[in-house]
Amino acid sequence: MKGIGEIGIVGSAAAVANAVHHATGVRVRDLPIRLDKLLEHLPAR
């Protein structure tokens, strides 16, 4: 059974993942989203 407070935070991880995708262009599909996961997929400059 879900607690009453849990219902409101279920979509927050998806919202953060979408924000990271829009900001960097990298889609991270597993949590937690860490900087090392992002850096390995970013193109080298």
Catalytic residue among 6, 30, 36, 40: 6
Residue 36 is given by DSSP the state H
For residue 38, report the phi and psi dihedrals to the nearest 5 degrees.
-70, -45
C-alpha pair distances (Å), 8 with each of 22, 24, 28, 38: 23, 26, 22, 27
* 40 noted as active-site residue: no
Catalytic residues: 6
